[in-house]
Structure 1
Amino acid sequence: MSYERFSTENAALLLIDHQVGTMRWVKSIPFEEMKRNALMLAKAASILQLPVVLTSSMEEYAQGPLLSELEQILPKEFAARIKRLGIVNAMDDDNFAKAVQATGRKKLIIAGVTNDVCTVYPALSLVRDGYEVQVVADAGGSPSAMADDIALRRMDKGGVTLTSTNQLIAELAGSWATPQGGQLVQVLMTALQG
């Protein structure tokens, strides 16, 4: 099977449950690193004008609201976020599934919190439904290193491509010499210095 790279023309980004409460449950990666990576993805999507679907689960409860920075980076997408009422697999939520289909893209980038619950099921469902899926492992995490490892292995076995934030942004950029590539380098450099 030949690999066609994920690009501005063919990919969409799904950010699942980057909520202040939920993110505090993650112990497999430092909170600030996970947050930085998720926001880098949002900034990259904004620069590249990728379709983005945001979703949250039970914001009024312990999970809390989505990161406020997401509203600053992606205001339109934040306003249109899909608020799930406890549905574990976001693809089982009709509104989310319709929003994913509405992107018109068959290559999907997913980052979610937590990898072992909120990311694994929609990623596997989307592969089953014929999508090409990359999960950005370091823009999410799990309550333990073991839980994260098992979730990543399960996704890998299920046909999901695992990637990292820097790797994915480089793939989407294609070239640092373009105007968008130059902006993406700034996103990466700022994050690395921070």
Structure 2
Amino acid sequence: MPESIHNPLLMTPKNTALLVIDMQEKLLPSIDAAARVTWNTRRLLDGAAILEVPVLGTEQYPKGLGATVPEIAERLGEVPEKLEFSSCNCVAEKLTKLNRPKVLLAGIEAHVCVQQTALDLLALGYDVLLAVDAIGSRFRQDKRIALRRMESCGVTLTTTEAALFEWCRVAGTPQFKQISGLVRETEPS
């Protein structure tokens, strides 16, 4: 039987970290499709816990924008505060220690903090992926243009479901059964 192929383009639990950006109480209600963004971010966090993918998070000026929403906060642990739009300086040291070449991003807002973080991480040599259904902006056009810009700069676009199955890699394991449960959840209306 041939040896299993390990394509370096694919995310695995051993080569990826998940970074959740600024999913905060006062900002989230104004985000287009906020319930879907929150749901997908939560599913990514649950999948990361099942498959032991390390997770990081940030909060943008919590004094003004509030704390991370409880559904996300309870899955993140300690979250550093920032004033810079990019999360890169907040998480760079932790990412270096994790030694994961790939970073999957989720959070808000696509055209501000997510985009600046993605571009800074690219400049540091990371492979940056973006779960497009787990990010948002107040206005669809801002998100649409941010996705185009990030992709043209080298960010790889994916979805929550694709990321979960990519991390899982194979069927027939207890982890696959849990990931399948996350995938089968009903999307919020």
TM-score, shorter chain, exceeding 0.5: yes
Equivalenced residue count is 183
**Which of these residues, 47, 58, 61, is aligned with residue 61 of structure 2?**
58
CA 1:24–1:175 in structure 2 vs 1: closer, same or farther (change >3 Å)? Answer: same
Q: Point out where structure 2 has 5 or more consecutive residues left out of the alignment.
A: 1-6
SS in structure 2 at match of 1:55: strand
Identity %: 28
1:168 is matched with 163
Normalised to the residue count of structure 1, the TM-score between the two structures is: 0.88
CA distance in 1, matches of 2:86, 2:28: 17
CA distance in 1, matches of 2:171, 2:26: 36
CA distance in 2, matches of 1:193, 1:37: 10
Query: Does 1:19 find its partner at 2:29?
Result: no
1:67 is matched with 69
Q: Is the 8 A contact 2:38 2:134 kept in 1?
A: yes
Q: How does 1:33-112 map to 2 (within 5 A)?
A: 33-61=36-64, 63-72=65-74, 74=75, 77-78=76-77, 80-84=78-82, 86-91=83-88, 93=89, 95-112=90-107
Q: Name the amino acid aligned to 2:86.
A: N
Q: Point out where structure 1 has 5 or more consecutive residues left out of the alignment.
A: none
Q: Is the 8 A contact 1:108 1:131 kept in 2?
A: yes
Normalised to the residue count of structure 2, the TM-score between the two structures is: 0.90
CA 1:163–1:37 in structure 2 vs 1: closer, same or farther (change >3 Å)? Answer: same
CA distance in 2, matches of 1:188, 1:119: 24
Cα shift readout 1:59-103 (whole Å, capped 9, x = no counterpart): 121x2110211233x2xx42x21111x211111x3x422122222
SS in structure 2 at match of 1:42: helix
**Which of these residues, 26, 30, 34, is aligned with residue 31 of structure 1?**
34
CA distance in 1, matches of 2:188, 2:175: 20
SS in structure 2 at match of 1:137: strand
